[in-house]
Structure 1
Amino acid sequence: MPEVKFYYFHVKVAGEAIRMLLAYGSQEFEDIRLSDEEWAALKPTMPFGQLPVLEIDGKKYAQSIAISRYLGRKYGLAGKDIEEDFQIDQVMDFFGDLRTRAIALFHEEDEANKAKIQKEYEKNYYPVTLKKLNEIITENNGHLALGKLTWADFVFAGIYDCLRVLLKIPDIDEQFPNFKKLQKSVLSIPKVKAYCDKAPKADW
């Protein structure tokens, strides 16, 4: 078995899916949760100066979706051909657009502009996008693609707690119950649950 290290901060966000995928694949790994000070020292050694980073036998790999896709393929959580992989990727890109917008808004420093964008998103973007995402899950038997468990479900489950905070929709679980159900279905997988039960607690 390869020697694996995973570098990220003490949060779930873009890293939890990777931790859960490694657990699903029965891969032992060193879960390195960096402080800001530790990260500043390590940053120059990382491929793109960003986290998360997965290190396999001394070689470092970056970008959370690329890592998740790789692990999905490795552990039988990808499509059976390129067309099925295409279906997973398009949903992940759609979900990625939502996540990117929400994160950018969270980091907006102009409070007046932030409030304006939040209002616009709540009126015109979030309802349409979240409804479509909910429909996708319904059409795929409680999953994001192919009607079965794929690595995309791990990405969603890992970041959902953070997404709930970013979107600022208090009743999102009630409006779109499929979201929480999908997260729970991933977290209840025995190997994933075993990891979560012993992992350091992080709110999001």
Structure 2
Amino acid sequence: MSLTLCYFPLKGAAEISRLIFAYTGEKYEDKRITSEEWKAGEKAKSPTGGQPMILLEGGEVYSQSMAIARYLANKFDLAGKSGEEKLHADMVVDAIKSDMAQSLMKAYFEKDEERKTAFAGEAKEKINTMLELLEKNCVKGDGTFLASGTSWADLMFYNFMTDVVPLANASMSAGVTLDATPKLKAIHDKVQENPNIKKWIEARPQTQF
């Protein structure tokens, strides 16, 4: 029995886990649950009442997006080679998820145009500052955040730049680019050029979010 990843028919919070599966080539079931199915009974299966969820080989079910992605990173040797490397990767992932992605999403989903403009300006400033810090302090390898090679931190950064930033740039002129951060661009491009990632991006269902 293979692992089963459950989420709505979106990229969203499950895409980092899908990218880990894609990069490693590990087999899994990509189960996409409609809102109707979720309300009709799937929600009751979640230990914390939300998605994504992962069903393990033994039948156990776990939820929470970062817990699942971290579990997969450890299981498939993408978490780091030492305790310190794992800490470094987690630090980068948290910066991307908590500091950058959430600030953009806050602005993206704001309905009031005046508040949306203000939030977008705040998000752009926060993201540019964080990109500078990541570029300066956090790239330890050749096109990777870790000295030992590719990790889930690289996949998380690729996910952010590929699936989150284009939405923000198109809808609220966020203007987020990697023009001033060549080390980060090298990380993004290295993931993008991976054959398994290329195959997944071409094959995955096309959704806005």
TM-score (norm 2): 0.80
Contact 1:14 1:158 in 2 (8 A): no
Contact 1:17 1:159 in 2 (8 A): no
Tell me which residue corresponds to 1:38.
Answer: 37
Q: Which amino acid aligns with 1:158?
A: N
Contact 1:68 1:155 in 2 (8 A): no
Counterparts of 2:185 and 2:32, CA distance in 1? 26
Q: Which has the higher contact order (CA 8 A, sep 6+)?
A: 1
Q: Sequence identity of aligned pairs in percent?
A: 28
Which of 187, 190, 197 is the aligned partner of 2:192? Answer: 187
Q: Where do residues 104-183 of structure 1 align in structure 2 (5 Å cutoff)?
A: 104-122=106-124, 124-136=125-137, 138-146=139-147, 148-164=149-165, 165-166=167-168, 168-170=173-175, 172-176=177-181, 178-183=183-188
1:3 counterpart = 2:2: yes
How far is 1:69 from its partner? 1.5
TM-score (norm 1): 0.82
Counterparts of 1:27 and 1:140, CA distance in 2? 25
Q: Deviations over 1:172-199 (max 9, x none)?
A: 1444455554333223323333333333
Q: 107-116 vs 150-159, which deviates more?
A: 107-116
Tell me which residue corresponds to 1:53.
Answer: 53
Q: 28-37 vs 189-198, which deviates more?
A: 189-198
How far is 1:150 from its partner? 0.6
Q: Which amino acid aligns with 1:50?
A: G
Tell me which residue corresponds to 2:206.
Answer: 201
Q: Deviations over 1:90-116 (max 9, x none)?
A: 122222222122222323333322222
Tell me which residue corresponds to 2:69.
Answer: 68
Counterparts of 2:23 and 2:51, CA distance in 1? 21
For 1:108, what is the secondary structure of its paired residue? coil
Counterparts of 2:142 and 2:52, CA distance in 1? 30
Q: Which amino acid aligns with 1:10?
A: P
Specify whether residues 46 and 117 from structure 1 end up closer, same or farther in structure 2 by C-alpha distance, changes over 3 A only: same
For 1:14, what is the secondary structure of its paired residue? helix
Counterparts of 2:153 and 2:96, CA distance in 1? 10
Tell me the C-alpha RMSD between the 2 structures: 2.6
Q: Which amino acid aligns with 2:56?
A: I
Tell me which residue corresponds to 1:21.
Answer: 20
Structure 2 unaligned residues grouped into runs of 5+? none
Contact 1:6 1:30 in 2 (8 A): yes
Paired residues in the alignment total 202
Contact 1:22 1:28 in 2 (8 A): yes
